[in-house]
Structure 1
């Protein structure tokens, strides 16, 4: 059996658009000879849907979208494994399930819900989903498939010193005779995650003596960035197939021969972190309905990096750098900002704020009552810059990108309504 790892970039809530992505990828996978196209966790609804899951209409739309997708699969020569939001059984504590469906040519063959629901860090699935009571193997074209959903595969008792859960769904499926473990995922990126996934899945594949197919989504949804980096861990511990990081792709793995396609990816984690920043920025802009962005350029490293990321994310023609020299600005701030804009090929505007700053100081002088200058005057400068950027945003319909770094945000070294605007 030829299995396609379909690494797609869904949008939360856009079930019609996501279904089209799934169908398009399935057709392309079939064109490459795939028998089964495997898609990420909640590919149909996007991940994470969070409080949308509280709406009965959202849950019903997901089931209806799966029905339409099943109908649209008529004539496709390959089957599909698709993540979706299902309806929990009557009497359940939670109304929804995080589920996977196996469909083939207009028929829904099998469904499996997620058993282990992460409720820590960025995850809050126990709040929304009803866990599966059991895991079951299904047969498809001569292979017995064990389908797990993300966290289900992250409780290997041999790999973790302190497993978080009592159950091990992967082990259960192996005992039931699964020939292949399919793991569909919505696993966010961090700088240790790519190596950790491979280490864990290759260890499980070797011990269970079965290939483990890991399919992850790619793309940015709000503050989360999903890197993709899908792969197949072969029974002998090899990485038998691998998709790129931070890009949509389809990779074919042949379960009969144990061989698959390999795509180049970011070898260096610093390079990968930059790729995550570009993808997260691009998708936030695109999925929020914007095309153009504004970056306040100070000539410093933070705003310069944001401008570089924005330019790679949406193209130089969609980025405007704005320099706003004020009474506390140095000469090189302006020259460095201009040099950066010219180097990147982006539009560059200069809006001096010194006249407006003096007006504000004069306006406030009677109320300040001769108090000596302090950080207040500097914050007025920052807030005037925020005012200028938001005015240009309103006028041009462009999204303002903030340029503060996380250390500044963590320590509060920033100005409310100033450099935090955007």
Structure 2
């Protein structure tokens, strides 16, 4: 006996129910042309995932139900059956469910049993947990149909195996994190070992607000060998061919998609997150301040590669403290990327603010107030450009700055989205070097370097006063980022970081900076999640907080 399963790494649009249904319909037609018996689409594919509180709207659920019913009716044509995900309301309970459509009807439903309630997930807030699922029968094959979190724990897989499942098949909306791909495969191996069954992992590919879903779907055979590995960060329809022998079902091996290195993954996640955020929110393009520094250069490169150079507007906003090097480097970066570039000097606005505030400030000497005014002038100017032309303002701050508050609220934090929000400064340097040597797969920007080498090698500076350097205020970035990783990603305390060899005074200083900047981060724009603990959905701390980090 044989079976052909088409795995659809699709890019749904949250809330665009009709468009998602049309996409599933088109994928089914493609699967039919390939000779597939079954098309499998990701978790909540009819509605987009995560739906958050949108799923609480009866009209939204009704729209999903109507499209699922219509798709089910179409399977009466004898073509491929369909597995899709969506909401299921029954007995006053709301489930995150997988639906099996075949022969003109909804043949089976299986509700998500394990509801994640950690990190970026709050499924328990909107969904009810379904019972432990049993297999579904599709054309004589008993499929162990699971929804995402169900396969992360052994109980559901073991229940399916004990009740006669022949193939474990999981539909997912599993967000990208660095190193998560390896963790997924390791867990899948555990499920295969426990059950003795082959395992299918299907994931969506999209950007959804702060989350990116990279696909990277795969199939493991019962002997734990990798049969199929779909590409990451791109849509794909992968036909898998199965045969049943004396020892059960086996998927015919295919050439796996090549793996991506760390910097390539970070860059691809930033591209996909920005591309979908701009497209799905219907912005014509982006505008950003191009300072001649490394953060804005990398942000501009990501934008050009994600959207195309013609949809990126870069603005240099020089002050009297802007160096000749910065002017040269910003212009050179724009030329390399082929993006629009213009200069709007902010000196006249600085003079106007100084004159306006002089009576109120009296003879007080200049301090950080005047530095922040410069940043806010730039923010207002860029927002004006955004309003006038409709382009979304892209902010350029990195995670090291957002952690320590080394950013001006209502200044350089102004904007609609940030691709570097979860990227530490040391990774910014590494990713810039990588991009100058590689053109990413699917990039719309030019071949060759994206920025002058001097942008990467010169000491970082906000250039808000003469001869200013980041290291005047912050520790060296290699030290700072290692310390922040312990405090943020690992949730370590002061004493634990001192035990790792960091100076106590430095740890306390960075702890306080991290703690005090929470109010800024609450008002920061969304940005792409890259690591395990991103600010926003992952890490939510009280603004009013008296804990010092000290045990005593």
TM over 0.5: yes
Structure 1 segment 6-17 matched on structure 2, within 5 A: 6-17=8-19
**Equivalent in 37, 40, 43 of residue 42 of structure 2:** 40
Is the CA contact (8 Å cut-off) linking 1:79 and 1:102 kept in structure 2? yes
Aligned residue pairs total 407
**Equivalent in 153, 162, 165 of residue 151 of structure 2:** 153
Deviation digits for residues 109-164 of structure 1, max 9, x if unmatched? 111000000011100001111111231211112211010101000013xxxxxxxx
Look up the match of 1:97.
95
CA apart distance, 1:261: 3.6
SS at 1:289 equivalent: coil
Look up the match of 1:247.
234
CA apart distance, 1:54: 2.1
SS at 2:187 equivalent: helix
Gaps of 5+ in 2: 244-249, 416-552
**Equivalent in 20, 23, 26 of residue 22 of structure 2:** 20
Is the CA contact (8 Å cut-off) linking 2:288 and 2:300 kept in structure 1? yes
Q: Would the alpha carbon gap of residues 272 and 265 (structure 1) be closer, same or farther in structure 2, given more than 3 Å must change? A: farther
Deviation digits for residues 303-335 of structure 1, max 9, x if unmatched? 000000000100011111110001221121111
Aligned partners of 2:148, 2:387: CA distance in 1, in Å? 41
Greater displacement, 134-143 / 392-401: 134-143
Aligned partners of 2:169, 2:375: CA distance in 1, in Å? 52
Is the CA contact (8 Å cut-off) linking 1:320 and 1:348 kept in structure 2? yes
Give the TM-score normalised by structure 2. Answer: 0.72
Aligned partners of 2:222, 2:132: CA distance in 1, in Å? 25
Look up the match of 2:220.
233
SS at 1:73 equivalent: helix
CA apart distance, 1:76: 5.4
Deviation digits for residues 149-194 of structure 1, max 9, x if unmatched? 01000013xxxxxxxxxxx111100001101011000000000211
Look up the match of 1:318.
311
CA apart distance, 1:254: 1.3
Aligned partners of 2:19, 2:65: CA distance in 1, in Å? 15
CA apart distance, 1:79: 0.5
CA apart distance, 1:74: 3.7
**Equivalent in 288, 294, 298 of residue 287 of structure 2:** 294
Aligned partners of 2:103, 2:302: CA distance in 1, in Å? 43
Is the CA contact (8 Å cut-off) linking 2:151 and 2:191 kept in structure 1? no
Aligned partners of 2:319, 2:103: CA distance in 1, in Å? 65
Is it true that 1:360 corresponds to 2:353 in the alignment?
A: yes
Is it true that 1:409 corresponds to 2:408 in the alignment?
A: no
Gaps of 5+ in 1: 157-167
CA apart distance, 1:293: 0.7
Give the TM-score normalised by structure 1. Answer: 0.94
